[in-house]
Structures are given as C-alpha cells and as structure tokens.
C-alpha cells in the first residue's frame, strides 16, 4: 500500500482592503458568506434562519447554515453528505448540484434542487436541518432547473421551476417559469403544469434566463420573485404579483428590484453579478433578502466566486424593493434590529486567520472534496494530530476524485500555507494547490529529484495546457513549509526548509483561476 503523506497544519489568512473598514455598532459586513457561496436560499423556522447554497461538483454538497440574526452564520451540515446520495464522476466542476431552495413547513425542512447531468430534479427532506437528510426523491417528470416549493395557507403545495417555454424557444436564453401542484404525501407532481412567466417581465425585449423562482404570500398578494439576465454582469432580480397563485402575474413597474449592471465599470471595489435573491420575514415583521454577487478585480476577474450578500427589503406601495437603481451594494450596512451584539463575522467574512491543526477526529466543515470520494484516502486518526493523505493515481486534471482537500478562497488578497513531512515515497508528489476546475489550477509540490534529494516544482494548468513553470532542488529536510500568496491576479509561491521563507516563483498569473477565464460558476479553492 502507498505510504500516506503527513501534513502538520494548514493556515489560511485573508487581508482585503474592503474589510478594513470598521463596522459601527448595529451594523454588519457584506458579503455575509465570503468566497464561493452562490445561489443562496433562505427560510425561517421559529427564531432561527437556515440558508443553503450551491456546491456544484464538490462534496459534501449543499452546505446548510444556521443563524439567529441573518448576519452571523455557522455551517451545521450538508444535504448531500453520503457518497450513496449522488455521484459526480465524469462531470466538470460546474455541473452537479445547482441552486438549492430551502423551505420549512410543519416540522420538516425541504430542499428542492437540480443535480445537473447527475440525475435531474429532486427533493430532500430532514427533521433536523443539521441532518441526516433523506436520499434524493426524484422528480422525473420535471425538466429544467431551479425547482422550489411554495406552501400555501390552504394546505396546497406548489412546485416551481425554470424550463424551456412552450414550443420552440424564440432566442438563445428564452426560458419560462412553470408551476405544478405537488402531492406532499407521495412527493409527486399532480394536475396541470402551467407557465407563470414566459421569457421575463418584458417579453418584447427578449429577456434571458428567467430562473430561480420563489413565491411568497403577503397581505393577500402572491409575489413571484425571479432572477433575470443570466448570472454574469447583466444579472438582476425581478418581482411580479397576483391575487391568484396561478396568476396572471403582473410585473412591478420599476423592475428590476436589484441589479448592479447600470453602474460604471471603473468604480472602486466593484460588486457585480447581483441577483438570484430569496426573501425572508424576520421576527419583527421586517423583510430581508439574501442574494449572490461577486467582488471583481481588474473589472472583470473574480477568483472568490459568487458570494452571499444580505440587504433589507423596503415595501413600497405593496412591492418589495431590495436596492434602488444606481445604488452600489454596501460593504457595511445597518443590521436587523434583532441582531446579536456586534460580533465578529469571521470566518464567514471580514479579515481573519483560520488555522487547522488537524487535532480533531473529523474534518472541519470548511473542507470539501472534488467530486465524491470512492475510497478513504484521508485520515485524522491514523497519525493523531496530523492529516494523513494516501496518494491516489489521479491528478488535479481527473474527472473523478483526486487526493486534494479544498477550502474556499474567500479573499482577493490572501495567504495559504501548510507544513508536510519528508521524505516521501518515490513517485509521490505532494504539496498545496490553488484550484478552480480540472483544467485551471496551480500545484506547488515536492517530489524525489532524479539526481537524488528533493525537488520543488510549480505546475500550472490553463487553456495553454499543463506545464512545469519552476523547479528547485532543496536539501534533505524532515519538514517543509509551502505557501501560496495572492493579491488580485498576482500569485506567488514560496517555501521554507527551516531557514526562512524563499520564493520559488512570484508574479504568476492568478487570473487563470478567475471564473471569467476558467469558465463555469464556482470560485477558487486551496488546500493540501
């Protein structure tokens, strides 16, 4: 059997200028979940709030967060936490679980979701949101993506989702929001299935990607809340309402109720891509919106993915407005009246240092696997106080599960470091990686040199293919420290053999790890 490689610790430190702004008493910091936490959906159960986000082909999937005040969040579990529930082998990293929607009703939590290219639409349920969650209950008759549930006051339950329109789509991106009743006892859609929105709020403008639908009921009105414009710079949120759950739904005259597409591209510290909002009512009757947005550098790049933000909802003449046109999403904003005393929001957001000494019996919830592991290659108990990783034959370019533990990059300016024990078996490469997907990554590692001793190397994968961009022979040492530092698109790779830090390579192009360059819907991750 292969000898495991032992890691003593892993440390991540974030230092973004936007997070240096002090937070006044009663205020909070945006984003509320920094780093790759897209497509947030929220529900309230009693005095607690629960939030889920997309995780695509990472495992465990669909993280579940809990909060008492909408600001301070703690991950308590995952909807997909057993390898038997879903399989992502063969999929690119931006397939898998898209846009979960969470609801709480009568003592049960429901998450509706799409496993893209890995099973289709399903519902999972739990009595305890921390888990365990049920196996997927598949909805084979429902195509498209972004299912959500609406529980009406009369006991009826409705299933909403995005799908192709009736007939042939008129243009690329032409979609519709559909609805059908769901029989809760059997979890089967029943009765007629009808289109609630065709195209978007103004079909004459050929709107694209109407998606992420949610219905809420307030003061006799049914509100249909959807994203429009695609999840890039044109992203927005639109609202419609009707006196009847089946419609017809009339759009708000001043849509969109949230976007950043109308702002100058050269603004300082831009927040872009805002949309995919979900609304929730607080215990004091005030409403709030969670939504995704991105923090860009050099205007179009973002390595931190699509993050989760929070803003209050203002009801104007019976319509919910998240942000008036022309306003920038604030990095610091007044919090809910019921917010816990001003407390640190780290490690969810802000500047912080996060360190794992690998001294617990189980992996912390911040760690993720790339796709679903088929074998136990990671252990915290075989060498107590250390992370033991058994090498696998696959590299980071596999469409299966590589021996790589991933933690989100949550800052534009960050440092990630680790210490590992040497020497390792011949033929083994180990170290630290910055990973965006199977074709875009950096691997700073160590291996046996052909001429004896240990060789450090930096390998890069991008649209130009895989290449070794730097090597150095190091003295035989028992322990080696490695680090990756990033500042916008400037990534540097360092090592310490016991006599202080040295650079193997500086000023590497980190924009290959940005979503706009690498493609897809996720953010960069780091780890051993």
Question: Which residues carry out catalysis?
Answer: 39, 211
Strand, helix or coil for residue 211: strand
Q: Are 176 and 162 in contact (CB under 8 A)?
A: yes
Alpha helix (H) ranges present in 268-426?
A: none
Q: Are 135 and 159 in contact (CB under 8 A)?
A: no
Q: Return the closest-CA partner of residue 496 out of 474, 514, 469.
A: 474
Determine phi and psi for 512, rounding to 5 degrees.
-70, -15
| Chain centre to alpha carbon of residue 251 | 29
Q: Are 313 and 284 in contact (CB under 8 A)?
A: no
- Pairing between β-strand 440-448 and β-strand 41-45 as defined by DSSP bridges: unpaired
Counting Cβ atoms within 10 Å, is residue 287 exposed (0-12), middle (13-18) or buried (19+)?
A: middle
Alpha helix (H) ranges present in 1-133?
A: none
- What is the distance between the alpha carbons of residues 294 and 45, in angstroms, rounded to a whole number? 28
Question: Cα angle at 11 between 10 and 13, to 5 degrees?
Answer: 160
If phi over 0 gives left and psi between -120 and 50 gives alpha, with beta otherwise, what is residue 521?
alpha
């Amino acid at each position: 059997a292969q000898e495991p490689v032992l890691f003593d610790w892993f440390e991540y430190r974030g230092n973004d200028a936007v997070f240096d702004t002090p937070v006044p008493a009663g205020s909070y910091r945006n984003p509320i979940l920094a780093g790759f936490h897209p497509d947030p959906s929220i529900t309230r159960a009693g005095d607690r709030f629960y939030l889920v986000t997309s995780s695509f082909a990472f495992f465990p999937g669909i993280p579940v967060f809990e909060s008492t005040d909408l600001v301070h969040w703690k991950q308590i579990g995952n909807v997909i936490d057993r390898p038997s529930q879903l399989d992502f082998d063969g999929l690119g990293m931006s397939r898998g679980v898209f846009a979960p929607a969470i609801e709480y009703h009568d003592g049960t939590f429901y998450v509706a979701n799409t496993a893209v290219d890995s099973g289709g639409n399903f519902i999972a349920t739990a009595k305890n949101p921390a888990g365990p969650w049920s196996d997927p209950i598949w909805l084979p008759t429902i195509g498209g993506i972004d299912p959500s549930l609406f529980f009406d006051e009369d006991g009826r339950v409705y299933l909403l989702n995005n799908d192709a329109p009736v007939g042939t789509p008129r243009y690329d991106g032409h979609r519709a929001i559909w609805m059908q009743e769901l029989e809760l006892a059997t979890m089967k859609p029943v009765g007629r299935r009808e289109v609630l929105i065709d195209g978007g709020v103004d079909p004459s403008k050929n709107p694209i990607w109407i998606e992420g639908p949610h219905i809420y009921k307030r003061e006799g009105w049914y509100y249909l809340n959807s994203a429009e414009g695609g999840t890039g710079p044109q992203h927005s949120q639109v609202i419609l309402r009707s006196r009847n759950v089946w419609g017809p739904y009339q759009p708000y005259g001043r849509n969109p109720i949230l976007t950043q597409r109308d702002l100058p591209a050269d603004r300082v510290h831009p927040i872009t891509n805002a949309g995919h909002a979900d609304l929730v009512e607080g215990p004091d009757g005030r409403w709030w919106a969670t939504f995704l947005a991105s923090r860009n550098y050099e205007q179009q790049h973002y390595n931190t993915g699509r993050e989760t933000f929070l803003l209050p909802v203002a009801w104007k003449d019976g319509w919910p407005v998240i942000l008036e046109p022309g306003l920038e999403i604030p990095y610091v904003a007044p919090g809910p009246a019921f917010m816990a005393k001003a407390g640190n929001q780290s490690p969810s957001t802000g500047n912080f240092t996060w360190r794992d000494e690998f001294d617990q019996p189980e992996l912390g919830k911040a760690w993720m696997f790339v796709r679903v592991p088929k074998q136990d290659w990671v252990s915290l108990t075989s060498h107590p106080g250390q992370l033991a990783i058994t090498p696998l034959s696959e590299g980071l370019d596999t469409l299966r599960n590589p021996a790589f533990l991933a933690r989100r990059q949550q800052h534009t300016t960050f440092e990630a470091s680790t210490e590992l024990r040497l020497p390792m078996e011949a033929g083994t490469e180990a170290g630290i990686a910055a990973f965006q997907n199977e074709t875009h990554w950096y691997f700073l590692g160590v291996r046996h040199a052909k001429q004896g001793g240990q060789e450090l190397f930096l390998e890069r994968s991008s649209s130009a293919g895989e290449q070794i961009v730097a090597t150095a022979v190091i003295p035989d040492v028992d322990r080696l420290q490695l680090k990756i530092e990033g500042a916008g698109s400037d990534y540097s790779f360092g090592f310490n053999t016991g006599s202080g830090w040295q650079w193997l390579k500086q000023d590497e192009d980190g924009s290959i790890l940005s979503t706009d360059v690498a493609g897809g819907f996720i953010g960069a991750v780091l780890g051993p």
